[in-house]
Chain A
Amino acid sequence: MTGTALTPVLSEHWDREDLYTLDGYRAVGGYGALRKALAMEPDALVDLVKASGLRGRGGAGFPTGMKWGFLPKDNPNPRYLVVNADESEPGTCKDIPLMMANPHALVEGVIISAYAIRSSHAFIYVRGEVLHVIRRLRRAVEEAREAGLIGTDILGSGFDLDVVVHAGAGAYICGEETALLDSLEGYRGQPRLKPPFPAVAGLYASPTVVNNVESIASVPPIVANGAEWFTSMGTEKSAGFGFFSLSGHVTRPGQYEAPLGVTLRELLDMAGGIRAGHRLKFWTPGGSSTPIFTEEHLDTPLDFESVGAAGSMLGTRALQIFDETTCVVRAVGRWIAFYAHESCGKCTPCREGNFWMVQVLDRLENGEGTEADVEKLLDICDNLLGRSFCALGDGAASPVMSSIKYFRDEYIRHMEERGCPFDHSESTVWGGSK
């Protein structure tokens, strides 16, 4: 069979038991890219990352090198590098296994990236609910410090760097980069008005780069192998590889590292297909904040442009797969309960809109709704999308609007049957083999 092959780079050595130690990482060539980078001019590294076409792997897809290039040259304040390791978007489960198995890949990326942007202070903001990942990251930073890879005059280069692993405390909104910065400064995690962007006034109002874990971890292989190597994978505008995280009703859920532009059909083939005896109903291309897709999108190339053209977003490549046993109204209702819970309360459309959508969706799921309720949901979404302070509100509109677009009939069925027509036990792991 022809088609796309997997390209394990960040996950290439995850089956090595001691990979999370400095010795294990070095045994597979770890920190070789750092030596190469420190022999280069920082600006040359920025140019290299620009040339690679690496786009942010945290969901928005902004070109990483361009983000670095936005730092003002004449600002006298210290520069900061902040890694967004607050992975919390429903369905997204790539950064956590990466940091668990290979924390030094991130640490090496941090050192190189900090050198490139001339920052001597980096923070890794990791969500608090992943205790063991925090242990592994801290240990990796300690080991790197003991080996002279973090600290003063790193490998005789004259470059100094301190790295702090900072544990969050449970707030999805802190994945939004300016909310993350507020949280890191010791405040409630609420987003800031942009501009100014973090590149100009970020942490402590200083020039700051905020990058996702996978983006930063992709820097060492780019340095080691070159921009051409990176662009030889993926598509013209969506270069390189990335994790595609399959979850839900698939035979072999898991992490599949592939070139951008791979399709769900190809990935499902690799993952053994939809679980036996069932068929695909709907899926998210990049987490719950990206409009859902159906089987008509099986051949949509999973790159930024193609997914966008098909009406959704590549997001974090969090492919949550649901088969025909799943009630879409229940699925959407649960996501909206999540957005309502996680709304920071700063802006009215998101705080109130999600609160009310939970009520309406509950009513619909229980068969007590009317068609006017469906219109009400769309009306609320109209007030959320583009009118919220940050992307959290926009994200909440995605599952609601897209589910009504593709499955309006199913909303109606709940009204006609005065209740949910699905047997939820059939969608469970243990209930699916009937």
Chain B
Amino acid sequence: MSEGFDDATRARLEVDAKEVIARYPKSRSALLPLLHLVQAEEGYVSRAGIGFCADVLGLTAAEVTAVATFYTMYKRRPMGEYHVGVCTNTLCAVMGGDEIFAALKEHLGVGNDETTEDGKVTLEHLECNAACDFAPVMMVNWEFFDNQTPESAKRLVDDLRLGNDVAPTRGAGPVCTWKQASRVLAGFSDGRAGEGPQAAGPSLEGLKLARERGWTAPAPGAAGPAPTEGGDR
């Protein structure tokens, strides 16, 4: 018990856990969200967090640990307030991600998966985050920071460390903390879905061109050699 949460924390988390478990036909499906939940509490998945998940799901600590260590988003050491990720998969790396990551390591004086002394920023290189048309891409607490350069990246982490508001390119600004992000991942709304644009930049290039040239998909019913009204109904 010495490594567990205190009674008040535990009682509070048990209420949350009950809500998460209720979403699934079988309780074990709640394990991933519950790991996000305990990460939201402490910033990482501690032994206390593992023990909590095991207790509420009736699993062993070994079973929970096996899952927690499989997925890269669960961190086993305390994290900074802002997780700063730089995509260094091939496309982003080629477009400048390698230069950005090198610049940040030097600027922050940390290596991969290390945290600045002030506890503000944990730097990590990432695999592809599905925003290749915005390369080079960075993520802060899993929000998109598109089309970065070494200079913009350094300004970004400086602002984060100074406590200045920082807004993602496509997401909720100012960017939330690591713990707040983890709580959203666990399934608890922060009410910020309406923030940020619906789409931006490259996402709209094709549509923009289609509008300029008057291109559309065929009109329903105009298709095929002999369209019949309501033929597919």
Contact = CB atoms under 8 A, between A and B. Distances in A.
A50 to B, nearest CB: 12
A48 B232 contact: yes
A132 B198 contact: no
B164 interface: no
Given A166-B32, A168-B71, A271-B205, A5 B199 contact: no
Given A334-B90, A429-B136, A132 B168 contact: yes
Given A164-B24, A255-B133, A430-B96, A97 B33 contact: no
A204 interface: yes
B12 interface: no
B207 interface: yes
A248 B70 contact: no
Interface centre among B141, B171, B204, B205 (most CB of A within 10 A): B205
Contacts of B35: 169
Contacts of A183: 32
Given A93-B133, A100-B170, A228 B210 contact: no
A351 to B, nearest CB: 14
A128 B74 CA distance: 10
Interface string B2-45: 00000000000000000000011110111111011000000000
Given A131-B143, A255-B205, A188 B66 contact: yes
A5 B184 contact: no
A167 B206 contact: no
Contact of A322 (B94, B98, B130, B205): B94
Interface in A189-220: 189, 204
Contacts of B147: 429
B172 interface: yes
A296 B139 CA distance: 36
Contacts of B93: 330, 334
B146 to A, nearest CB: 11
Contacts of B231: 226, 228
B149 interface: yes
B113 interface: no
A57 to B, nearest CB: 14
B206 A270 contact: yes
A102 B184 CA distance: 20
A334 B67 contact: no
B221 interface: yes
A97 B201 CA distance: 11
B205 A225 contact: no
Nearest to B227: A228
B94 A132 contact: no
Given A101-B198, A288-B90, A131 B28 contact: no
Contacts of A168: 32, 71, 73
Contacts of A245: 132-133
A89 B128 contact: yes
A318 B204 CA distance: 16
B84 interface: no
A80 B71 CA distance: 24
Interface string A304-338: 00000000000000101010001000111011001
Interface residues of A, number: 108
Interface in A2-42: 5-9, 11-12, 14-21, 36, 40
B220 to A, nearest CB: 4
Contacts of B168: 132
A59 interface: no
Contacts of A236: none
Contact of B218 (A166, A233, A326, A427): A233
A150 interface: no
A253 B132 CA distance: 9
B163 interface: no
Interface string B198-220: 11011111111110010111101
B71 A17 contact: no
A67 interface: no
Contact of A318 (B32, B132, B190, B215): B132
A53 to B, nearest CB: 13
B91 interface: yes
Interface stretch (A134-142, A376-384, A387-395): A134-142
A96 B130 contact: yes
Interface string B53-80: 0000100000000110011111000000
Contacts of B24: 164
B116 interface: no
Nearest to B224: A228
A428 B132 contact: no
Given A320-B90, A338-B128, A247 B210 contact: no
A341 B72 CA distance: 10
Interface in A381-430: 424-425, 427-430
Interface of B: 23-26, 28-33, 35-36, 57, 66-67, 70-74, 85, 88-91, 93-96, 98-99, 126-136, 139, 141-144, 147, 149, 168, 170-172, 181, 184-187, 189-190, 192-194, 196-199, 201-210, 213, 215-218, 220-224, 227, 231-233
Given A51-B232, A97-B199, A142-B189, 9 more contacts: A8-B207, A100-B170, A167-B186, A226-B221, A229-B223, A245-B132, A253-B132, A256-B209, A344-B70
13 contacts: A90-B90, A91-B91, A101-B198, A129-B85, A130-B130, A135-B193, A168-B32, A171-B72, A253-B132, A254-B202, A255-B202, A256-B206, A430-B96
